[in-house]
Chains A and B, each alone.
Chain A
Amino acid sequence: MTMSKQSDDLTQPLEAGRTFFNTGMTILSGVFTLLGLIPLFLVLFYVLSQGFSSLNADIFTQLPAPSGTLGGGFGNAIQGTMIMVAIAASISVPIGVLTAIFLSEYSRDSGFVQYVRFGVNVLAGVPSIVIGVFAYGVVVTTSGGFSAYAGGFALAILMLPIIIRTTEEALKLIPWELRLGSFALGADRFNTIARVILPAALPGIITGIMLAVSRAAGETAPLIFTALFSQYWLEGLNKPTASLAVLIFNYATTPYADLQHKAWGASLMLLILVLIISIVARIVFRRRS
């Protein structure tokens, strides 16, 4: 290509070919962005339109109806999901956040940290059904049966790598100067982390935890092996426990229209649950900082 056509006229337009290419690529990237968003909106639309009509007060207060009869709800599944996610969070959040603090604050570049980070990445890639089988072997077979504990344990393993990675990223975003400023005032590492770094990184950490919670709340495979399902309200954390995800799996595969309809309702409920948890967490922690 030669530069012979260059002129000093500031209003001279780009060559037709370049203009065409520019516009074409802009349109193309816009179209593919829309294509990427279509599944999201379709899922939301479908779940809303199919599930909305089956939402009523019974859903929260009633147990599943005996097979063959209409009506009933799945209050026990909502209860079970919330309890197991809470168990999972209470295990994985402290372990995950402290691991991330170790990786980011205590030994950023040591060889050991590289292995830990690699291990976390591998764990993130382990299929959830394998985690279910693992939890079955470790908790269910040794504790004598399916339980909310076992379900929570499986979900905790699932959440752990997400929390570690997002928390480490959030901590790394905090400028190094803040740590130096704190050290220069005579603060030790503990005070620096607890009083400056963690509060500053909190919004990012909360986002990561919410991501992990959303992921865990929708997981089915690990729960089938660990919490199984139950037709009744939770009788104890050491008993089989209902969950929305397993309920959806059970109902959606039946040939009965009423149950399929309930599965849609349960899907919508799951979305709403995750949304509420995210919003509440954001409001609570925004106010504090």
Chain B
Amino acid sequence: MSSTTTTSNAYQVRNMNFFYGTRQALDGINIDIPAQSVTAIIGPSGCGKSTFLKSLNRIAEAETKVRIDGQISLFGQNIYDPKVNLTQLRRRVGMVFQRPNPFPMSIYDNVAYGPRVFGTKGNLDALVESSLTKAAIWNEVKDKLRTSAQGLSGGQQQRLCIARSLAVNPDVLLMDEPCSALDPIATLRIEELIENLRTQLTIIIVTHNMQQAGRVSQNTLFFNTDESRIGQLVESGLTKEIFFSPKDKRTEDYITGRFG
């Protein structure tokens, strides 16, 4: 399977509407998300940015009943095609959650979990080491790989979760406010990590922190709710343009801290 197609867009989203039960959460989303770069999603609470992220690996439907119209394609393949194998999709699209969620097992087993689920047998030492190295946590845990992952600090746990995602060699990494439960130093380390991973895969990060979006991303999507509380994509573009010369008044108000 060749995961490196020639198209420069990781995702193409066309006329996407998202419903939780009967309540619409997103309306008419159209966007291309470029590959091998970091895209930040910003917007006030309840604007649907996490919902949008969760539709990109179809994890939303694991949580509750949802309905999605329109089309989302990943490197040219429609991910809502009924024939899509969710297991395969989610292997290619990793996800890091708001609160670090290491499994209650050893550090080693956490990283080896994905490969084992996909039937990799035998010695995973090399893969575990390279994944932990990529997630910039190898030096801190190499002497205690067999101890419980839950003894790590919050920031270490979050980097472990990133290593866990990287172990199945994804093309895309979705991050849902990955630093909101972390202190500034741990946050900085995650941001450095994002910067280093950028050349290897596509990263899409939801963040409440505008400075963070400015620091880590090349492109930014600004979501907001309309009068009927339905989320919509207001503006998208290069991060520096969104931040320094927003076209939409709502974007400007949000960026400058007038609401949200």
Chain A interface (Cβ < 8 Å from any Cβ of B): 175-188, 191, 195-196, 199-200, 289
- With A180-B101, A181-B103, A182-B113 already in contact, the answer to whether A187 and B87 are too (CB < 8 A) is yes
Q: Interface code B133-174, partner A: CB below 8 Å = 1, 0 otherwise?
A: 000000000000000000000000000010011001000000
Partner of A186, one of B63, B101, B102, B118: B118
Partner of B62, one of A180, A200, A289: A180
Partner of A199, one of B95, B99, B102, B104: B104
> Could you tell me the distance between the alpha carbons of A164 and B90 in the complex, rounded to whole angstroms?
32
Does the CB pair A180–B63 fall under 8 Å? yes
Q: Is B94 an interface residue (CB 8 A)?
A: yes
Closest Cβ of chain A: how far from B256's Cβ, in Å? 34
Does the CB pair A186–B87 fall under 8 Å? yes
Does the CB pair B117–A187 fall under 8 Å? yes
A residues less than 8 Å from B57 (CB atoms): 184
Q: Bin the interface of chain B by size.
A: 20 to 34
| Total A-B pairs, Cβ < 8 A | 72
> Could you tell me the distance between the alpha carbons of A181 and B165 in the complex, rounded to whole angstroms?
9
Chain B interface (Cβ < 8 Å from any Cβ of A): 57, 59, 62-63, 86-91, 94-95, 97, 99, 101-105, 113-114, 116-118, 161, 164-165, 168
Taking A184-B90, A186-B88, A186-B90 as known contacts, 12 extra A-B pairs with beta carbons closer than 8 A to each other, sorted by chain A number, are A177-B97, A178-B101, A179-B62, A181-B164, A182-B117, A184-B59, A184-B94, A184-B95, A185-B168, A187-B113, A196-B103, A200-B104
Does the CB pair B105–A185 fall under 8 Å? no
Closest 8 CB pairs of A and B: A186-B91, A184-B95, A177-B101, A186-B90, A185-B114, A181-B101, A187-B117, A200-B104
Does the CB pair A188–B97 fall under 8 Å? no
Does the CB pair B101–A199 fall under 8 Å? no
Closest Cβ of chain B: how far from A120's Cβ, in Å? 25
State the main secondary structure of chain A at its contact with B. Answer: helix
B residues less than 8 Å from A176 (CB atoms): 63
- With A177-B101, A196-B103 already in contact, the answer to whether A183 and B59 are too (CB < 8 A) is yes
Closest Cβ of chain A: how far from B150's Cβ, in Å? 10
Closest Cβ of chain A: how far from B72's Cβ, in Å? 16
Across the interface, name the chain A residue whose C-beta is closest to B102. A181
- With A180-B97, A191-B117 already in contact, the answer to whether A185 and B91 are too (CB < 8 A) is yes
A residues less than 8 Å from B89 (CB atoms): 186
> Could you tell me the distance between the alpha carbons of A186 and B116 in the complex, rounded to whole angstroms?
11
Closest Cβ of chain B: how far from A89's Cβ, in Å? 26
Partner of B90, one of A183, A199, A200: A183
Does the CB pair B90–A185 fall under 8 Å? yes
> Could you tell me the distance between the alpha carbons of A196 and B112 in the complex, rounded to whole angstroms?
13
Does the CB pair A180–B117 fall under 8 Å? no
B residues less than 8 Å from A187 (CB atoms): 87, 113-114, 117
Across the interface, name the chain B residue whose C-beta is closest to A194. B117
Write 19 A-B pairs (CB below 8 A) sorted by A numbering: A176-B63, A177-B97, A177-B99, A178-B103, A179-B62, A180-B62, A180-B63, A180-B95, A181-B102, A181-B103, A182-B117, A184-B57, A184-B95, A185-B94, A185-B164, A185-B165, A186-B89, A196-B104, A289-B104
A residues less than 8 Å from B161 (CB atoms): 181
> Could you tell me the distance between the alpha carbons of A180 and B104 in the complex, rounded to whole angstroms?
14
B residues less than 8 Å from A178 (CB atoms): 101, 103-104
